[in-house]
Amino acid sequence: MGSPQVPPYLLGLRLTGRRVVVVGGGRVAQRRVPTLLAAGASVELVAPEITPSLEGLRDRLAAWHPRPYRTGDLDGAWLVQACTDDPAVNGLVAADAEAARIWCVRADDAEASAAWTPATGYVGETTVGVTSDGDPARSAGIRDAIVDGLRDATLKARHSRHKPTGVALVGGGPGDPGLITVRGKQLLAQADVVVADRLAPSVLLDELAPDVEVIDAAKIPYGRALHQDKINELLVEHAKQGKFVVRLKGGDNFVFGRGGEEAIYCAAQGVPVTVVPGISSSIAAPGAAGVPVTHRGVSQEFHVVSAHVPPGHPDSTVDWEVLARNGGTLVLMMAVERMRLIADALMRYGRATDTPVAVIQDGTLPGQRAVFATLGTVADEMTAHGVRPPAIVVVGEVVRVAAQMGNLTADIGRDP
């Protein structure tokens, strides 16, 4: 069929509503069918048996013919995928397709195949397709390199028609720069202005191009009450100058991050807002220390509580009595300086003195450390170990589960 020396002619097929026949119901079909459906194709499956994943897609198929392939099945098709595990059947499908001038992809024999499926990736509005002389592993590797490069903007798409506008509230994750989302990193790389917080991963700021204006929100010289107003104004002011502004915070902007206030202010000023969720330290820091915030048979719930004011403080809206009685996992943020008062309140309201507690400081950062104690001892242990913010305190039986994960390895994806 094709010669390996002659490169294939790459096309972007627009399949919406067009009949595509997939012959075979195994692992190859399982990979091809979702992509064809995502491209809008009207997919007909011919296979005596199909995998559970394909079963799950049945509602979205135009038809499934639960029988072997028969000549005539390709009538009216624009494209066919021959992906049975029987070369003779695939050969027959390919021959029928050739006779009918229908493009056929043969999964078992690249050399005998009229068409190849490129290794495909999607980045925003861009589709990347790679073929490498019928070598799918090489194609996939190149595809990954291009897609990763476009996503983290190490490959610059200079002439994009779609430069984002307005303000993006981007969750930077708990601290390790590898724990921001792909979308977050992509938008960060397109920013003209970044308004960053103290807990936003600083390594990400070091990676920004020199012409990006970085505003350290912690250093904005205003009194406490005016501080947030000033940040809101800065976001809007820059966005209205046509700059794309990223508001980068630690964790998730909507978890004690005042993201809601910023989004409302921008909306009121007519500035479009994009929200990119982040991995909140409330879950990530315990997780990184081997403490699952829920565990089957141990805790069905977890409560994330801001402890920026102590129990009984007039500004506190937290019902510590209910939390103490409830028995689920408590995840306390901003609690370091008030932990003695909090532990006393929880014990006074009925939580057992020997309830296990974990304190995780600098979760996911190189200096991460965890202190394990009980409600009765945690305040003294924190003092003894010199625990400093930022730290997450986990109260509840899930803390014991950490001890069963003795072999928990360091995050292997982490930069050395």
Ligand X SMILES: C[S@@+](CC[C@H](N)C(=O)[O-])C[C@H]1O[C@@H](n2cnc3c(N)ncnc32)[C@H](O)[C@@H]1O
The residues that are catalytic are 197, 219
Distance CA 217, CA 230 (A): 9
Task: Tell me, residue by residue from 365 to 384, as one string, x for binding to ligand X by CB under 6 A and - for no binding.
Answer: x-------------------
| Residue 331 touches ligand X, criterion: CB under 6 A | no
Binding residue for ligand X, selected from 33, 93, 115, 199, defined by CB under 6 A: 199
Q: How far is the CB of 113 from ligand X (least distance, A)?
A: 49
# residues contacting ligand X (CB under 6 A):
25
150-180 b/e with 16+ CB inside 10 Å = b?
A: bbebeeeeeeeeeebebbbbbbbbbbbbebb
Binding residue for ligand X, selected from 244, 362, 371, 396, defined by CB under 6 A: 362
| Residue 277 touches ligand X, criterion: CB under 6 A | no
Give the full edge-to-edge strand order of the sheet including 167-171. 213-216, 193-196, 245-249, 167-171, 273-276
Q: How far is the CB of 361 from ligand X (least distance, A)?
A: 6
Long-range contacts of 404-412 (CB under 8 A, 24+ apart): 405/290, 408/290, 411/176, 411/178, 411/288, 411/364
Distance CA 133, CA 2 (A): 10
Q: Is 288 exposed, middle or buried (0-12, 13-18, 19+ CB in 10 A)?
A: buried
| Residue 339 touches ligand X, criterion: CB under 6 A | no
Binding residue for ligand X, selected from 43, 146, 285, 324, defined by CB under 6 A: 285
* 174/287 with CB nearer ligand X: 174
| Residue 302 touches ligand X, criterion: CB under 6 A | no
* 54/248 with CB nearer ligand X: 248
Residue 400: CB partners within 8 Å, gap ≥ 6? 298, 356
| Residue 363 touches ligand X, criterion: CB under 6 A | yes
| Residue 255 touches ligand X, criterion: CB under 6 A | yes
CB 201 within 8 A of CB 172: yes
Task: Tell me, residue by residue from 211 to 250, as one string, x for binding to ligand X by CB under 6 A and - for no binding.
Answer: --------------------------------------xx
Binding residue for ligand X, selected from 118, 164, 184, 257, defined by CB under 6 A: 257
Region binding ligand X by CB under 6 A among candidate stretches 61-69, 215-223, 274-282, 407-415: 274-282
Binding residue for ligand X, selected from 360, 370, 379, 399, defined by CB under 6 A: 360
* 74/365 with CB nearer ligand X: 365
* 95/408 with CB nearer ligand X: 408
| Residue 175 touches ligand X, criterion: CB under 6 A | yes
Q: How far is the CB of 355 from ligand X (least distance, A)?
A: 19
Residue nearest to ligand X (CB): 251
Region binding ligand X by CB under 6 A among candidate stretches 41-49, 106-114, 236-244, 361-369: 361-369
Binding residue for ligand X, selected from 81, 139, 281, 299, defined by CB under 6 A: 281
Residue 104 amino acid letter: C
* 239/333 with CB nearer ligand X: 333
Q: How far is the CB of 152 from ligand X (least distance, A)?
A: 22
* 22/330 with CB nearer ligand X: 330
Q: Which of 299, 284, 278, 401 is closest to 333 using CA atoms? A: 284
Site for ligand X in 106-165 (CB under 6 A): none
Binding site for ligand X (CB under 6 A): 174-175, 199, 249-252, 255-257, 280-282, 285, 333-334, 360, 362-365, 389-392
